[in-house]
Chain A
Amino acid sequence: MEPSPHTATSNPPVAATAANLSERDLVRRSASSVPPPARQLEPVAKLIDVSKCIGCKACQSACIEWNDTNPAIETNVGVYENPHDLTPDMFTLMRFTEWDNPQTGNLEWLIRKDGCMHCEDPGCLKACPAPGAIVQYSNGIVDFVHENCIGCGYCIKGCPFNIPRISKVDHTAYKCTLCSDRVSVGQGPACAKACPTHAISFGTKEDMKTLANSRIEDLKSRGYENAGLYDPPGVGGTHVMYVLHHNDQPEIYSNLPRDPRISPVVNAWKGMAKYLGFAAMGLAAAAGVLHSAFVSPNRVSSEDEEKAEDLVKEKT
């Protein structure tokens, strides 16, 4: 087995490499089950150090180039976000916030690279009704399989981060793949490769946590006492993590959720509603079967017909 990639910075092997992510590495498959995988890949993660980001959008360009998407050219409305939002053709987006730090009086320019967080407990996959349209590999990557996608938009309802977008062209859902096609041949994601300040790193989740710790220590020594790692436990942790200088208030980074979790409404819809629904429909059907077994059909008798004839005769 090929070792999992540990970095996005080293150049990839020149020789052709067999893909090491396959159906056999799935740990979850939407609306279906998978056999337990024979091997456990090392969990990977992308670490986005917000404090090092300069907002150059090289990651967006690399993403567009690698995934061969064509985001529409939009109009400048006076903000740095471009395009205006994640779209079916833009899987990652720099979100810019001008934040007035009340403690220091400094205006801080917060730039967060938004995109799929690759949750350990993915709400999109839980909500998906189409077998095999969303899969999760044992290294943590959550991927959309377009030939199985029906375009219903349930993944949008399941996602705690508002990430998936449905294409108006092929009516299937798109999002960051964590460059699963690159990772499968030992490379890191395109965005990480392109980042000029190494604000985006890629490797095993363990390594990324270690790297994050060293960065957090550094930030703390520079006065960012609330610096920390964003790896939200409500979704089982994520395979895209942030180093935030103000980890105590993630909301200031363009509404990064403080405690993301799969909505209880989605859990009720995908859990209780199904059991309740089948039970109710089953009971209604069973009641019919039982009733017909114990009560004979309600038949109109010949006396009833005669009574009706008499009644009508009376009136004519």
Chain B
Amino acid sequence: MADRDIAKEDAIHPGRPVVVSRYNLGARINHWITAASLILLALSGLAFFHPSLFFLTGLFGGGQDARAIHPWIGVVLFFSFAGLFIRFWRANLPEKSDKAWLAHANDMITGNEEKMPEVGRYNPIQKFNFWVMAILIIALIVTGFAIWDQYFFDWTTIPQKRIAVLIHSLAAVALICIWIVHVYAAIWARGTLSAMTRGSVTGGWAWKHHRRWLKELAERHRVKKPAAPAE
């Protein structure tokens, strides 16, 4: 049951401080491709969303080029996120203890995390973000094909395209909101960013935010002997 909380790459490296591997190089590259395509999609998509943001098409070489490239970046995002999904879906499955944690979610937001139940690899808010992102990205790719008129005009009727473009814009807005929460949380909880840059966090970070995950890792002897200290 708890096994799903531990990814292959997760490992503890004893020392001062303890270092815990959280994301291997593949996961990090996968994550940053997703991040980059999501940002590019948001910039080009917002340009079509409201006239006041149309100037953003300048970043892509003008309106025609922005219109042409946006759906292709969407395809990249879809496959890239699919990679993340395959990596992380198990650890994001909901579990019973999530309920108790969510009952204390207020403590998390007000900075009283010590009052909260222990958390596995992901806390319920992270899990919520994960699943909502997955659903929104599926909605975006499906509706995106429906309005990708350059190649798929004949696949849908005009009334279907109208609904698709409305859903596409609303889903995109929701995804941008989720993205804001995701980025803010990663910055607010200090020590988190290194998980996606160097691939590791400190033992203290894991103890504070994902204690059950750290305990399970230690329990399962996923502790790598420290390198022989230099003489």
Contact = CB atoms under 8 A, between A and B. Distances in A.
B109 interface: yes
Interface string B36-61: 00000000000111110010010000
Interface stretch (A3-11, A148-156, A222-230, A236-244): A148-156
A258 interface: no
Interface string A264-306: 0110110001101110110111001001100111111111111
A276 B177 CA distance: 12
A216 B116 CA distance: 80
A304 B67 contact: no
A315 interface: yes
Contacts of A314: 218
Contact of B202 (A129, A285, A300): A300
A32 interface: yes
Contacts of B18: 305, 308-309, 312
For chain A, the bracket of interface size reads: 35 or more
Interface in B175-231: 176-177, 180-181, 184, 188-191, 202-208, 214-215, 218-219, 221, 223, 225
Contacts, number: 170
Contact of B111 (A31, A151, A273, A295): A295
Interface in B89-111: 109-111
Given A284-B180, A298-B188, A309-B17, A315 B166 contact: no
Given A32-B51, A166-B149, A171 B173 contact: no
A75 B219 CA distance: 75
B200 to A, nearest CB: 13
Given A171-B68, A298-B111, A280 B204 contact: no
Contacts of A157: 147, 158, 161-162, 165
Contact of B66 (A31, A150, A268): A150
Contacts of B202: 300, 305, 308
Contact of B110 (A131, A280, A295): A295
A277 B173 contact: yes
Of A288, A300, A314, chain B has the most CB atoms within 10 Å of the CB of A300
B29 interface: no
Of B47, B181, B184, chain A has the most CB atoms within 10 Å of the CB of B184
Contact of A305 (B66, B203, B215, B221): B203
Nearest to B177: A284
Interface string A18-36: 0000000000000110000
A316 interface: yes
Main secondary structure of the interface of B (DSSP, over half): helix
A267 B101 CA distance: 42
Contacts of B208: 300-301, 304
A263 interface: yes
B181 A131 contact: no
A130 B150 contact: no
A171 to B, nearest CB: 6
A266 B162 contact: yes
Contacts of B161: 153, 156-157
A307 interface: yes
Interface in A100-137: 129-131
A152 B48 contact: yes
A265 B67 contact: no
A273 B163 CA distance: 12
A112 to B, nearest CB: 19
B188 A130 contact: no
A311 interface: yes
A273 B177 contact: no
A156 B188 CA distance: 45
A284 to B, nearest CB: 4
A166 B173 CA distance: 27
Contacts of B62: 150
Contacts of B215: 311
A274 B149 CA distance: 22
Contacts of A284: 176-177, 180-181
22 contacts: A31-B51, A148-B63, A150-B64, A150-B66, A151-B150, A152-B149, A153-B161, A156-B149, A157-B162, A265-B163, A269-B162, A277-B173, A285-B180, A298-B190, A299-B191, A300-B191, A305-B204, A308-B202, A309-B16, A311-B203, A312-B14, A312-B223
The 4 lowest CB-CB distance pairs between A and B, nearest first, are A308-B203, A150-B63, A305-B204, A304-B204
Given A298-B188, A311-B203, A316-B225, 7 more contacts: A130-B63, A152-B48, A171-B64, A265-B166, A273-B169, A305-B207, A311-B215
